[in-house]
Amino acid sequence: MSFLPINRKEMLERYDEVDFVIISGDAYIDHPSFGVAIISRVLEAHGYRVAILPQPDWKNKDDFKQFGRPRLAFLVTAGNIDSMVNHYTVSKKRRKKDYYSPNGEMGKRPDRATIIYSQMARRYFSDVPIIIGGVEASLRRLAHYDYWDNKVRRSILLDSHADLIIYGMADNTIIEVAEALESGLDIKDIIYIPGTVWKTKEVSRVYQPIVLPSYDDIIGDKRKYAESFKIQHENIDAINAKTLVESYRDWYVVQNKPALPLTQDEMDFIYSLPYQRNYHPSYHKLGKIPAIEEVKHSIISNRGCFGSCSFCALTHHQGRVISTRSENSILQEARRITEDKDFKGYIHDVGGPTANFQRTSCDKQLKYGACVNKECLHPEPCNQLIVDHSTYVKLLRKLRKLPNIKKIFIRSGIRYDYLMYDEDETFFNELIKHHISGQLKVAPEHVSPRVLDKMGKPKRSLYDKFVQKYYEKNKKYHKKQFLVPYLMSSHPGSDLHAAIELAEYLRDHHYIPEQVQDFYPTPGTLSTCMYYTGLDPRTFEKVYVPKSKHEKAMQRALIQYHKPKNYHLVKEALKKAGRYDLIGNKKKCLIPDKRKKSH
C-alpha cells in the first residue's frame, strides 16, 4: 500500500476518477496524528477512491481543477490547526514558521483557509457538494467571536458557501455522509446525521430544536452571546445533547447532536489502517516537514478529555467522554514503529489530549453521557470520579519489554490532579522511573484562586503537594528530573494583583520561567466567551478581562520579572498596584530601586 495520490498523474496511475477530493491547508503527511490521513484512509478502507490536494495555490484555478469533478464531494479542511492560529501570534504578529509546511515555510496556505478553499471549489465546480471539517470548521460551526477581526463572525458554513460541516473527529460521520451521497441522496437532504451542521431556509425541517439567540441578537448584546454560548456548552455530549438552531436573516444554521465517541473496536480499526507514517515523497526535495518529527514515533492511545480547562476547545471538538484503544492494538503499532529505518529506540509518547485519562471518568457516562452542569475535576473531584491508572501501567510495562525499545516517554499532557487523586502510587512511581526525558511538563497555569477558578484548574495547594511528592520520588529513585510548569498570563480574571501574586510565588520557589504564554482567545472556549463578553457564561458574573496591549505586557513582564528588559514594565505594574514593598533591595523585593541617590 502506498501514499494516496496528490496530483493528477498519481491519480491516473490508480483511478480514472475519484469519489472525493480532500483539500487541505497542510502538506500531506500519512500518519494517524493528522486528520487528513485518518479521513482519507477510513474512506479508502470503505471502498472509496480518494485524492488529496495539499496546500493548493488558492490563486491558481488549475490546482483546484486538476483531479476533475469528484464523483461525490469535495472535503475541505484548513489542516491540523486553525489557519489564523497557525499564522499569527497572540499579539497578532505574523509567525515566521509553519510547522505543517515543507521546510517550515510560511505562506503555503491563506488566512481563513477553509473559507478560501471552499469558495474556490464552489467557483469551479458549482454543482459538487462541498463538506468542510477539521478544527477550524468544527470550532466555528456557529456564530463565534473572532479575535483577529475583533468581532462576532457568522457560522463558517455560511461564509464558506459549503453545504455541510462535519464537526468533531468525523471518523464515523464521514462514512455515514459518504453512504448517503452514494445512495443518491441530495446533499441538501442530508440533515439527520449526528456530528453535522447544515443550513436551511425552512426551520420547520428541524425536529424539536433548542433555538439559540439569533445572530442579530448576539452581535448587539454581549449577554445574549454569553447565553448562546452557555447553551452550546451544555450540548456537547453525544447522548444528552439537543439539536441547536441559530437564525440569520436569510438562513437557519442547524447543529445536530454530536456523533458518539468511538468504541474500542472502532478505535482499533482506525489506527490499524496502512499509514505510511511519513510525509509524501514529493516533499523530500522541498525540505522536511517539522510537524512529523515529534509524532512520527509516537502513539495515540486515547481521545477526549474531562479535564475542564476553560481555555481549551477540545471538549467542543472531541467531547468529554474518553475513547481508548486496546492493549493489543497499541502493541501492534509499537512493533510497526520499531521496524522503521529511522527508529532509534525511543517512542516519544503514548497518550492523547491527556495521557493519563485512560478510561471514562465514571461508568455512568457510557449510559447517560457527561453531566451537563457538573465537571469531573473542578472545582473539586466529583464523588463519582473513578481514578485508575492500572490499565495504563500494564500497557507501559508491556511496551517497555518489546525488542529494540530503549525508552517510552510520556510527553502529552499529564493531569497532575488526577495523578494525585490516585491512592495507588504505582503509576506515579513508574512515571518517575521510566517515562521522563529529564523534565516533566505540567500545567498549573497560575496560582491565584480567582484566576484558577476561571481557568477550571485545581487549587494551588494541590499543585504544591504534587511538586513536593515529585521531587521526593526523584530523590528516592536517584533521578535528577525537573518540572517545567506552563504558566499563562492575562487570562480572564487576572488583574495586576493576581499577576503579582504569581510573580511572588515564582520568587519564593526560585523558579525562572523561560517562556510565558499569553491567553489566546480562540473559537470554541469558555475563556474566549469571558474575554469577549466580560461575563462567565456559567454564572453570568462579571469577569475582569485584561485587554490592552500595555496591561498584558505588564502581566507577562511580572512573570519574568528577573529579565532586565522587563524592569520598567514591572516597576510600573508594582506602582500601579500599590506594591512599593516589592521594589528595593530587601530579600522579598522583585526588582531593585534604581533611583539615583541625591548628594
The runs of H, that is alpha helices, within 46-143 are: 61-65, 83-87, 113-124, 134-138
pLDDT over 70 (residue 158):
yes
Write phi, then psi, for 25 (nearest 5 degrees): -80, -10
Residue where the block lists cell 506594591: 579
Distance separating alpha carbons of residues 4 and 10, to the nearest angstrom: 8
H-run or E-run covering 300? strand 298-300
pLDDT over 80 (residue 403):
yes
Q: Check residue 540 and give its pLDDT.
A: 98
pLDDT in tens, 341-353: 999 999 999 999 9
pLDDT over 90 (residue 20):
yes
Q: Check residue 597 and give its pLDDT.
A: 53
Which whole-number Å values give the CA distances from 159 to 86, 116, 119, 216, 564, in the listed order? 20, 9, 9, 16, 47
Task: Band the pLDDT of 1: cuts 50, 70, 90.
Answer: low
Three-class DSSP category at 122: helix
**pLDDT, mean of residues 308-332:** 96
Q: 439-599: what fold?
A: Transcription Regulator spoIIAA (3.30.750)
> What CATH number was assigned to the domain covering residues 297-437?
3.30.750.210
Contact 206, 243 (CB under 8 A): yes
Which residue, among 119, 113, 114, 124, has the nearest Cα to 161 in the 3D structure? 119
pLDDT over 90 (residue 595):
no
Contact 155, 143 (CB under 8 A): yes
Task: Band the pLDDT of 182: cuts 50, 70, 90.
Answer: very high
Write phi, then psi, for 128 (nearest 5 degrees): -95, 130
Cite the residue boundaries of each domain of the chain with CATH code 3.40.50.280. 8-198
Give domain 8-198's CATH architecture. 3-Layer(aba) Sandwich (3.40)
Write phi, then psi, for 251 (nearest 5 degrees): -140, 160
Three-class DSSP category at 84: helix
Strands of 206-288, DSSP E: 210-211, 244-247, 252-255, 278-279
Grid cell for residue 215: 445572530
Buried b (16+ CB within 10 A) or exposed e, 539-562: eeeebbbbeeeebbbbbbbbbbbe
Which residue, among 133, 340, 365, 155, has the nearest Cα to 250 in the 3D structure? 155
Which whole-number Å values give the CA distances from 492 to 410, 426, 552, in the listed order? 30, 37, 11
Any residues with CB less than 8 A from the CB of 594 and at least 6 apart, and which?
567
Residue where the block lists cell 490563486: 59
Sign of CA dihedral 228, 234, 236, 242: negative
Grid cell for residue 132: 468542510
Grid cell for residue 118: 471552499
Q: Check residue 420 and give its pLDDT.
A: 98
Contact 278, 29 (CB under 8 A): yes
Q: To the nearest whole number, what is the mean pLDDT of the chain?
A: 96
pTM: 0.96
**pLDDT, mean of residues 106-132:** 97
- Name the DSSP letter for residue 578: T
**pLDDT, mean of residues 109-121:** 98
Cite the residue boundaries of each domain of the chain with CATH code 3.30.750.210. 297-437
Q: How many alpha carbons lie under 13 Å from residue 178 in its C-beta half-sphere?
A: 25
Three-class DSSP category at 453: helix
Grid cell for residue 3: 501514499
pLDDT in tens, 245-292: 999 999 999 999 999 999 999 999 999 999 999 999 999 999 899 999
pLDDT in tens, 406-450: 999 999 889 999 999 999 999 999 999 999 989 999 999 999 999
Distance separating alpha carbons of residues 334 and 328, to the nearest angstrom: 10
H-run or E-run covering 151? strand 151-153
Amino acid at 391: T
Distance separating alpha carbons of residues 56 and 117, to the nearest angstrom: 8
pLDDT over 60 (residue 596):
no
Q: Check residue 413 and give its pLDDT.
A: 86
Distance separating alpha carbons of residues 484 and 244, to the nearest angstrom: 41
Q: Check residue 78 and give its pLDDT.
A: 98
Cite the residue boundaries of each domain of the chain with CATH code 3.30.750.200. 439-599
